[in-house]
Amino acid sequence: MFISNAYAQAAPAAGGADSMLGSLGQMLPLVLMFVVLYFIMIRPQMKRQKEHKAMLEALAKGDEVVTSGGMIGRIAKLGETFVQVEVANGVELQVQRSAIVQVLPKGTFGK
């Protein structure tokens, strides 16, 4: 008396084209967000990494550089992974190549 009878509803027929467009419509914003993320963040970062690697490979003795710690000096010796940077007369620091962030124009670091 208090419980009414429950009747099963007919399941909608599986549509071919309509359900395909619906799922594509749901995926479209996600795909667009990934494309925007790639062009705004990933691609420029890869370009900067490539330029930094090329700059590190082109280092030569006598180049004036800035380290990641802000030290300015002239390259005295080059090694495979380390570089000797002269920051003052007779004062040389050994830093990793990857710590060099910029090559300065000649004459910037005066003696």
Q: Which fold has domain 60-104?
A: SH3 type barrels. (2.30.30)
Structural domain boundaries in the chain: 15-58, 60-104
> Distance between CA 46 and CA 44 in Å, rounded?
5
Radius of gyration of the chain from its Cα atoms, rounded to whole angstroms: 31
As a whole number, the mean pLDDT across the chain is 86
Q: What is the pTM of this model?
A: 0.67
Confidence check: pLDDT of 92 > 80: yes
Strand partners of residue 91: 88
pLDDT, residue 15, reads: 54
pLDDT, residue 73, reads: 94
pLDDT, residue 4, reads: 75
Residue type at 29 in one-letter notation? P
In this structure, what are the phi and psi dihedrals at residue 31, rounded to the nearest 5 degrees? -65, -40
